[in-house]
Amino acid sequence: MKRSSKVALHRDHEKGSGTVLGIALIGVISMLGFVAVAQAQATLLSHSVQGAADLSAIAGAQSFSDPCARAESIASLNRVRLTRCFVDGADVSVEVEAATPTLVSKLLNRFGMTVNNVRAVATAGPPDFASVL
């Protein structure tokens, strides 16, 4: 009889420990999900900014009058800022950047860490037929 009362006492002492473990596990899984979503947002933003840079460079290269003005117009339509434009003959090189409006950057800024803007560079111009031959 004494033996079973000790077992019952031991079981009573551990009551609710599974709940605490479950809550901790849910917290860890939630944090991993948050990190995965933040990484996905950063990747999508990077691809979007690179696409905007490519489009801006192509538009500038196709412009007859002011390539940099055309590149800036296309950049603003794609919600990025043209930071550099360089014309070398028929080639146009651009650099664009966009702010990182993600929740992660806001949290990191709150703790004193700075998050840089996303930047992309692109060059466009007519094909170089001499290198093909």
In tens digits, what is the pLDDT along the chain, a chain of 133 residues? 555 555 555 566 667 778 888 999 999 999 888 778 877 887 898 999 999 999 999 999 998 889 999 999 999 999 999 999 999 988 999 999 998 766 767 766 776 767 778 999 999 998 765 555 5
Sorted by sequence, the CB contacts under 8 Å of residue 83 that are 6+ apart come out as 95, 96, 97, 119
Using only C-alpha atoms, what is the Rg of the chain?
Answer: 28
**Partners of residue 124 on adjacent β-strands:** 92
Rounded distance, CA 122 to CA 109, Å?
29
Entry pTM: 0.71
